[in-house]
Structure 1
Amino acid sequence: MTITSSSQTTRPTAIVIGGGVIGGAAAYDLSKAGFDVTVLDKGAFGQEASTAAAGMLGAQVETHHSGPFYELCRHSQQLYRAWTDELEQISGISAQYISEGILRAALTDEDEQELRSRLPWIQDAEWLDAAAMRRMEPELSPDIRGGLYLPADHQVHPVWLAKALQAALVKQGCRIREWTPAFRLLTGPGAGTAGRRIIGVQTSEGPLYADLTVLAAGAWSPALTEPLGLTLPMFPVKGQCISVKTAAPLIRSTVFTKGCYIVPKQDGSYIVGATQVEVGFDKHVHVQTIADLHEKAAALLPRMAEAEFVHTWAGLRPGTQDGLPFLGTLDTALGLIWATGHYRNGILLAPVTGALVKQLALGEQPLLNLNAYAPSRALKQTANATL
């Protein structure tokens, strides 16, 4: 059976491989730009790394040095409130945006020195001593040494963000084909170039053709690029989180220390996370991980020792060898836009990634320099790994 990405349409067509928040954001912006969009996912929409996240928009807290990645994160952070407002207006579903900021506390001398080293370059940050931090959040441990107050690092609820994004896509006429894995990219002649052109994907239901294909398959992306002769230096990184609740609210801000964060949600629960373990595609959750996370949470917020356990889960984040996502195009694979490898920052980077994918699709000048994220760097990284 041959499938076309739309029937009797004069609009340009696009296939987005991956139904996470990155793929959803790309599909959303492409649809707004006039593309007839189909989103493919091997499972249900938003059920992998996207909804296994805590939802922090931590451009400041999650970056440890200045440079292109920090600027990418900050740019997306600045887009976020307007982006979620628009999604909510279209979908009628709240992404539960909370603008309380993050307190990044230091519990050791080493951690304090590392945090202070960020002050010369980090923006939207203020150093607070221990007393000032406890004035903001009185339940914090008396053992904290001070830390950074990051007022611009807000949060959303990842599950409700995914619901809002999915509903907005449907209302815009995008087709979301769940449980439809993409087995391989389909290629054709490169239209006068030395490279090939990506003309669609082979799915479990047959070939699906489109003018444009977006690779947003997260940790599963390398399986699709390998047949093209491009080994992506990507790997899954398992992150396990737990959800707990208390009889009364303990904090308003997100509180964060080395190895642990506690994110308060509107329903009164807290997401505590998260581990970073390279174990392939194993998504099992472990009792010891729950115990370790709870111990770290109680060291930062002592009354967490009284919390009621609600739930635990794990997601596979798409890690890359150099810690940067792949964003852009490649001359040897025309018709393909890369939007993958966002690691633990997929929720944060969704708005800017969607905007960049749209600009690349329309042949516009990208709003940011993408050299640091170019897919061509995978060729160099792969060659270095074999030396």
Structure 2
Amino acid sequence: MNISTSDRRNHSTRSHAIIVGGGVIGASIAYELGKAGFACTIIDKSGWSQEASTAAAGMLGAQSETHHPGPFYDLCRASQQLYSDWTEELEAASGIAPQYIAKGIVRAALSEEDEQELRSRLDWIQDAEWLDAQSLLQIENELTPSVRGGLYLPKDHQVHPVWLTRSLRAALERQGCCVKEWAPVFKLLTAPGTGSVCGVSTPEGELYADLVVLAAGAWSSSLTEPLGLKLPIFPVKGQCLALRTEAPLISHTLFTKGCYIVPKADGSCIIGATQVEAGFDKRATATAISVLHDRAQELLPRMAEAEFVSTWSGLRPGTLDGLPYLGAWEGAPGLLLATGHFRNGILLAPITGRVIGQLATGITPEVDLTPYAPARALAGASQAL
């Protein structure tokens, strides 16, 4: 996109934000900050959306992937409710459809233990209905006849992660956002005397900004630790598999213990996903493919006939308590954190962008961020001692 002289002048006079991390979380934050008037630069150590954002099938499973009520469930629900309007806005802003599909999820039980656990969620979960085996087979007749029943979650939808990130990239380009790929951040820069974060050090030199947002996923702790904040974030490898049949077998996303199958608009199905703590090893393995295919075939027997399309993996940022780190830390003014979303980054992208944008512009966030405060990492470290 060519920027006119007047646009460049406006870009130079606006508040500048650097977002460290070019995944769906960093991109969503940059998009909201751009709408709020910030001139944004995204910096990523690799290519666009190459890590956790690619280790996803795009399920928006606020209901299907939370196991108990509480603030995290509420956060997921809040983000889920934004998705339809948000993706419409992104398509209008970018000219690229994120492939949002408003079709529910079937969370099927294949064992008595799983059935009991799923039925127990009916005491607190919203917008869910228990369907017996016969009713499930009426919705999806390719399901295994041994299915015991399951939860039908009509408001758990899906989006295509690849097209979502492409839509975000195009929208950011139209905003004038600068995206620097293959540019690792060596450290966060602080102002002498105040400790305020004022920029980043990169191979191109030092870059300064009015605001720095850390959304670097599993790599975030290496940047905060020199400031005195050691975040207990660790990489969890997620491997997915794409298959295609001659004609679509299902219309809803199917989910059971250890496996999900997400039908996409191009006729393929994404099957996922593994959870392996293997450090920063991203290699896709034959064993993982075999396990995923076996579980998918157990749920949907005709997957045995499917054509292999591809497999891939990415590193999700896991946390010890399962919650992301969102917001400011008093030990580093000028820095906002949005990291540790684990396997919920796609789902939580809209609400994360919103609340970080609100913090950056001095607005009280619409969500109570207390459970996600970065300072809780210090409390956890003290208890460990």
Query: Does 2:206 align with 1:207?
Result: yes
Return the offset for 1:286: 1.0
Query: Does 2:368 align with 1:369?
Result: yes
Return the offset for 1:179: 1.0
Residue matched to 2:263: 264
Cα deviation 1:181-206 (Å, max 9, x = unaligned):
11100011465xxxx20001001110
Residue matched to 1:49: 52
| Structure 2: distance between partners of 1:277 and 1:46 | 20
Supply the AA of the counterpart residue of 1:60: Q
Residue matched to 2:101: 98
Residue matched to 1:307: 306
Cα deviation 1:187-231 (Å, max 9, x = unaligned):
11465xxxx200010011100000000000000101101111211
Determine which of 167, 170, 180 is the counterpart of 1:167: 170
Residue matched to 1:243: 242
Cα deviation 1:41-64 (Å, max 9, x = unaligned):
111111111122100011000100
Residue matched to 1:217: 216
1:13 and 1:37 in contact (8 A); partners too: yes
| Structure 1: distance between partners of 2:136 and 2:160 | 25
Show the 5 A alignment for 1:218-233: 218-233=217-232
Query: Does 2:4 align with 1:28?
Result: no
Determine which of 176, 186, 189 is the counterpart of 2:189: 186
Query: Does 2:118 align with 1:131?
Result: no
The alignment partner of 2:196 has SS state of strand
Residue matched to 1:17: 20
Query: Does 2:76 align with 1:77?
Result: no
Supply the AA of the counterpart residue of 2:231: L
Return the offset for 1:285: 1.1
| Structure 1: distance between partners of 2:317 and 2:9 | 30
| Structure 1: distance between partners of 2:274 and 2:11 | 48
The alignment partner of 1:89 has SS state of helix
Return the offset for 1:19: 0.2
Determine which of 58, 62, 71 is the counterpart of 1:59: 62
Residue matched to 1:291: 290
| Structure 1: distance between partners of 2:9 and 2:245 | 49
The alignment partner of 2:50 has SS state of coil
* TM-score between the two structures when normalised by the length of structure 1: 0.96
| Structure 2: distance between partners of 1:382 and 1:40 | 29
2:11 and 2:39 in contact (8 A); partners too: no
Moved more, 42-51 or 276-285: 42-51
Cα deviation 1:332-354 (Å, max 9, x = unaligned):
10000010000000000000000
1:219 and 1:234 in contact (8 A); partners too: yes
| Structure 1: distance between partners of 2:110 and 2:224 | 43
| Structure 1: distance between partners of 2:192 and 2:115 | 56
Please, which runs of 5 or more residues in structure 2 have no aligned partner?
Answer: 1-7
1:18 and 1:217 in contact (8 A); partners too: yes
Cα deviation 1:275-311 (Å, max 9, x = unaligned):
1011100111111111111010010001011111111
| Structure 2: distance between partners of 1:13 and 1:288 | 46
Residue matched to 1:144: 147
Identity of aligned residues (%): 65
Residue matched to 1:344: 343
Residue matched to 2:4: none
What's the Cα RMSD here?
1.3
| Structure 1: distance between partners of 2:193 and 2:95 | 43
Supply the AA of the counterpart residue of 1:71: D
Supply the AA of the counterpart residue of 1:66: P
Query: Does 2:275 align with 1:276?
Result: yes
| Structure 2: distance between partners of 1:88 and 1:51 | 20
1:219 and 1:319 in contact (8 A); partners too: yes
Please, which runs of 5 or more residues in structure 1 have no aligned partner?
Answer: none
Supply the AA of the counterpart residue of 1:131: Q
Return the offset for 1:89: 0.7
Supply the AA of the counterpart residue of 2:91: E
Supply the AA of the counterpart residue of 1:53: A
Return the offset for 1:358: 0.6
The alignment partner of 1:37 has SS state of strand
Supply the AA of the counterpart residue of 2:43: L
| Structure 1: distance between partners of 2:13 and 2:372 | 32
Q: Give the length in aligned residue pairs.
A: 378
Cα deviation 1:316-342 (Å, max 9, x = unaligned):
000001000000101110000010000
1:241 and 1:273 in contact (8 A); partners too: yes
After superposition, the Cα gap between the structure-2 partners of 1:148 and 1:6, relative to the gap in structure 1 and judged at 3 Å, is farther
The alignment partner of 2:41 has SS state of strand
